Structure 1
């Protein structure tokens, strides 16, 4: 059972406003202030400070927020586990590549094994999922791309090939090409925050380039639209192997690679640090 003062602290971290925190908690503003002062006195440090009229977390406040998020999550899950005849509950996040092209067999197996379970799957880009995880809206997430791993419990699930795709009749089809040759193409790429985009941007940085190196860049969040446009010869893209496996086999898309730029990406299990359920959840992907 989580100490109410820690819950007050977490809500204030979300709202960064004493009045809104009090409204959400159904407390008076002085009560919220008292809870925060108690924690500051207990730990012997300031947790919040004002910069002008803007409330900010101190470094100590940031550390306590990370610890308390895990405590709040574990407390919630223990309460649910101890409830009489409580059904299994699982809230999973998956980045778009994993959610659309990898995770379906895992979900089917879980629902078959737990017919009474409460289950939800949130499919979004990596950064959105990590924010939902930190807010306690997910039990764990399966993500791709780059993120600050030191903030979470993580496990590598699998490595996936990542390469260029174009229409079958395109001049790049089946070739290994230099970056200079690619720069003349219209690039179709996912939105900022997606793991797919992060992998490609990192490959560009390794060759001292950015997306500004391309004369035409179209940002599209939907895989189906990207693949359709590429198949019609309206641009090229870079995607994980599972996303285009069927199209490559059918011959509606073709692969190409970048010279001196071997690309691959990690699919990772991620949950809050010190999560008591991390091991059992991590086994879910195996």
Structure 2
């Protein structure tokens, strides 16, 4: 069972407002203040400070938040596991490439092996998933792109090639294309926060380019819409191999690569540090 004072601390970290934290916890504001002062006295450091009227976490507060998140998750998960009446519950997050094109066989295997289990899958971009993980709303996530690995337990899940797609017959199709030749093209790309966008932006930065160098930029979060627009000749895009495997086989899309700039993306299994159940979750993946 998690100490109520740690629960108060975590809620205050989320709200950064004593009044809202008190309302969520059904406590008085003085009670919230007392809990925080107790922790500060116990650890001998300030956990929060005000910059003007804005409440901020101190460096020590950030450190305690990272440690306490894992403790809160483990505490809730242990209570669930120890409840004889509660079936196994697994809450997974997956970035869109993984969630829409890779994870279905593993979900099917899990449900067949655990017929009484409760299962949920949240498919969203990498940044949204990591926020949900930190809030204790997910057991683990499978994500692409870049993130601060020092904040989490992370294990490589798989790697996939990443390349440009265009309509068949397009001047880029089947070629290795210099980056400056793409600038006049309309680029159709995922939203900010997605791993798909992050890996392409990182490749641009290696050549001192940014998305703003493209004359026309279209942002769309849905893979099906992106592929349809590209197939209709309304732009080019950059996607992972599993996303376009079927279209490449059918000949509705064609591949091209960036000259001298090979791209490959890593997909990661990520959970909170000190997660007591991490081994079980990694076993589930394989």
Asked if Structure 1 and Structure 2 have the same fold, meaning a TM-score greater than 0.5 normalized by the shorter chain, the answer is yes
Q: Which residue of 2 aligns with 1:6?
A: 6
Q: Which residue of 2 aligns with 1:244?
A: 244
Following superposition of structure 1 onto structure 2, how do residues 1-286 of structure 1 map, counting pairs within 5 Å?
1-286=1-286
Q: CA RMSD for the aligned pairs?
A: 0.6
TM-superposed deviation, 1:72: 0.1
For 1:236 and 1:203, the matched residues in 2 are separated by 16
Unmatched runs of 5 consecutive residues or more in structure 1: none
For 2:208 and 2:56, the matched residues in 1 are separated by 36
CA offsets 1:83-133 (integer angstroms, 9 cap, x no match): 113200000000000000001111111111111111110000000000000
CA offsets 1:171-216 (integer angstroms, 9 cap, x no match): 1001111011111111000000000000000000000100111100
Give the TM-score normalised by structure 1: 0.99
For 1:182 and 1:54, the matched residues in 2 are separated by 45
CA offsets 1:45-82 (integer angstroms, 9 cap, x no match): 00001111111100000000000000000000111111
CA offsets 1:6-45 (integer angstroms, 9 cap, x no match): 0000011111111111111111111111100000000000
Stretch moving more, 178-187 or 37-46: 178-187
TM-superposed deviation, 1:282: 1.4
CA offsets 1:199-240 (integer angstroms, 9 cap, x no match): 000000000100111100100100000000000111000000
For 1:149 and 1:108, the matched residues in 2 are separated by 29
TM-superposed deviation, 1:283: 1.8
For 1:129 and 1:283, the matched residues in 2 are separated by 21
Runs of 4+ in 1 over 2 A off after TM superposition: none
For 1:61 and 1:108, the matched residues in 2 are separated by 41
Stretch moving more, 138-147 or 76-85: 76-85
For 2:148 and 2:240, the matched residues in 1 are separated by 21
